[in-house]
Amino acid sequence: MSAETPRQFHLNAFLMNAGHHDAAWRHPRTQPERITDLSYFQELARTAERGKLDSLFLADGVALWGNARYNAVGGFEPLTLLSALAVATEHIGLIATVSTTFNEPFHVARKFASLDHLSGGRAGWNIVTSGNVAEARNFGREEHLEHALRYERASEFLDVTKQLWDSWRDDAPVIDRERGVYSEEGAVSAIGHRGTHFRVDGPLNVQRSPQGHPLLVQAGSSEDGKEFAARYAEAVFTAQQTLADGQTFYKDLKSRLAKYGRGPQQLKILPGICPVIGGTEAEALALEDELTELQVPAYGLQQLSGMLGTDLTGLPLDGPLPDLPEEQDINGNKSRFTLVAELARREELTIRQLIARLGGGRGHRVFAGTPEQIADQLETWFTEGAADGFNIMPPYLPGGLDDFVDQVVPLLQDRGLFRTEYTGRTLRDHYGLERPAGRTAVAS
């Protein structure tokens, strides 16, 4: 795509309670009793920082995801947790998920600006539109907002938040005690936004932050999702099962940038991988089996029903999937639906096999192997045009992150694929992305 292929790739640690595998909490090496304990996440964040990772990331939904009977769900809200983690770390970027469907731009702009100040420029926002009807039902609605409308709202939401972040010029506080002028006339301005979904006067009540705007991250891969990403996102999380799919997605998304006046290096693509690490390949596979053995079938069935928009209860686990709807009829996560449906079709999986395959990464790629094999995989995806970096989803925590940082990262560093020290100060620096220019004073 780009003439100057970047020499090194980027790594994000996607932290998830006891780990990404849906049975991780049952594994003896996890600590589900600590998921509401700040020190647990402080330790994880410090581990990721020890590995010089670009960022850590917290997913989020505004309903209880999963089923509290069978999984260690719930826990901290991301923006509060990341604010606390800002204090426990110095370099690593802090990416919180916030939905544009159930929030107001003023609140969101403000919280990210605040986190960016708190952390000295390390805030990132994973912009999601929320795909779950349970979320709508916590916000006064019976049904979910329609998919296209969600992205339309998201787009206006971003237009408003960007204006709010720029409502204070970088030079706004002049703090002239003598004259009694805190900021010059015009340095802090209303935005007067009047749109379809929002009407926001502004200005924001937060000074412009170290990064100007938080890093904008996105993770939807439907047509609307990709278009939104091409227009606004600076990093994209994505779930791709095969190198070929990864290459197609990469090419597709990068090719959409030009029409928004953006270059290919202005958006970093980070496919997810759930690395099941073992000292030998056999050990890795044994660990994977051990986790599969711990799965609760009722839970897997419920999750799968949700992803496929199809009630599977009562169907024989060792039989095939029933007929599925078309992607156009899915009002939830369209791209995940298609990925799972195709995986089942391609590999002719039974329901039980599919549940096992999805246990580790809910559709993200799971790869079991030695540190060398995992490093090889990452290198291949990177050099073959499927990734600018990776979203690392440890199957179980804290051990799965320790192993990645202590065993995989050094190999990547030896190969010159990953940094050995932080060289920048902000999250944008880590990803090699520019600080957005703000408004400047009009010459008088």
Among 145, 206, 366, 405, binds a second copy (CB under 8 A): 206
Which 3 state secondary structure label does DSSP give 408?
A: helix
Q: Which of 204, 45, 236 is nearest to 127 (CA)?
A: 236
Q: What is the DSSP string of 288-327?
A: HHHHHHH--HHHHHHHHHHHHTS--TTS-TTS-------G
Among 11, 53, 219, 375, binds ligand FMN (CB under 6 A): 219
Whether 351 and 304 have beta carbons less than 8 Å apart is answered as yes
Measured at the alpha carbon of residue 312, what is the angle toward residues 307 and 314, in degrees to the nearest 5?
Answer: 155
Tell me the closest approach of the beta carbon of residue 179 to ligand FMN, in angstroms: 29
332 interacts with a second copy by CB under 8 A: no
Which one of a second copy, ligand FMN, none interacts with residue 238, CB within 5 to 8 A by kind?
ligand FMN
Which one of a second copy, ligand FMN, none interacts with residue 44, CB within 5 to 8 A by kind?
none
Among 2, 80, 280, 423, binds a second copy (CB under 8 A): 80
Q: Determine phi and psi for 113, rounding to 5 degrees.
A: -60, -40
Among 15, 16, 45, 73, binds a second copy (CB under 8 A): 73
The smaller minimum CB distance to ligand FMN, of residues 27 and 150, is found at 150
358 interacts with a second copy by CB under 8 A: no
261 interacts with a second copy by CB under 8 A: no
Give the binding range for a second copy (CB under 8 A) out of 44-52, 143-151, 183-191, 399-407.
183-191
130 interacts with ligand FMN by CB under 6 A: yes
Whole-angstrom distance, CA of residue 354 vs CA of residue 361: 12
Token look-up 């989803």 returns 393
Which one of a second copy, ligand FMN, none interacts with residue 3, CB within 5 to 8 A by kind?
none
Which one of a second copy, ligand FMN, none interacts with residue 128, CB within 5 to 8 A by kind?
ligand FMN
293 interacts with a second copy by CB under 8 A: no
Q: What is the DSSP string of 96-151?
A: EEEESSSS-HHHHHHHHHHHHHHTTS-EEEEEE----HHHHTTTT-SSPPPHHHHH
317 interacts with a second copy by CB under 8 A: no
343 interacts with a second copy by CB under 8 A: no
237 interacts with ligand FMN by CB under 6 A: yes
Strands 389-392 and 10-15: parallel
Tell me the closest approach of the beta carbon of residue 31 to a second copy, in angstroms: 10
Using CB under 8 A as the binding rule, the residues of this chain from 1 to 30 that contact a second copy are 25-28
Sequence-ordered list of residues with C-beta below 8 angstroms from that of 31, at least 6 positions apart, any chain: 18, 40, 397, 398
Query: Would you state the structure tokens that stand for residue 422, as one six-digit string?
Result: 């932080």
Which one of ligand FMN, a second copy, none interacts with residue 63, CB within 5 to 8 A by kind?
a second copy
Tell me the closest approach of the beta carbon of residue 322 to a second copy, in angstroms: 26
75 interacts with ligand FMN by CB under 6 A: no
The DSSP 8-state label assigned to residue 62 in this structure reads S
Whole-angstrom distance, CA of residue 355 vs CA of residue 133: 22
Token look-up 């994973």 returns 126
Using CB under 8 A as the binding rule, the residues of this chain from 420 to 439 that contact a second copy are none
- Give the dihedral of Cα atoms 395, 399, 402, 406; nearest 10 deg: -100
Tell me the closest approach of the beta carbon of residue 64 to a second copy, in angstroms: 4
Among 121, 202, 300, 360, binds a second copy (CB under 8 A): 202
55 interacts with ligand FMN by CB under 6 A: no
Which one of a second copy, ligand FMN, none interacts with residue 225, CB within 5 to 8 A by kind?
ligand FMN
Give the binding range for a second copy (CB under 8 A) out of 48-56, 178-186, 243-251, 271-279.
178-186
Tell me the closest approach of the beta carbon of residue 222 to ligand FMN, in angstroms: 3
Q: Which of 11, 10, 25 is nearest to 395 (CA)?
A: 25
Q: Would you give the distance in Å from CA 417 to the centre of its chain?
A: 22
Using CB under 6 A as the binding rule, the residues of this chain from 397 to 436 that contact ligand FMN are none
Which one of a second copy, ligand FMN, none interacts with residue 222, CB within 5 to 8 A by kind?
ligand FMN
Using CB under 6 A as the binding rule, the residues of this chain from 367 to 396 that contact ligand FMN are 391
Measured at the alpha carbon of residue 14, what is the angle toward residues 222 and 403, in degrees to the nearest 5?
Answer: 135
Whole-angstrom distance, CA of residue 16 vs CA of residue 29: 15
Give the binding range for a second copy (CB under 8 A) out of 98-106, 223-231, 250-258, 390-398.
98-106
Q: Exposed, middle or buried by CB within 10 Å (0-12, 13-18, 19+), for 176?
A: exposed
Which one of a second copy, ligand FMN, none interacts with residue 161, CB within 5 to 8 A by kind?
none
Query: Would you state the structure tokens that stand for residue 53, as one six-digit string?
Result: 């990772």
Q: Which residues bind ligand FMN (CB under 6 A)?
A: 59-61, 97, 99, 128-131, 219-222, 224-225, 237-239, 272, 333-336, 391
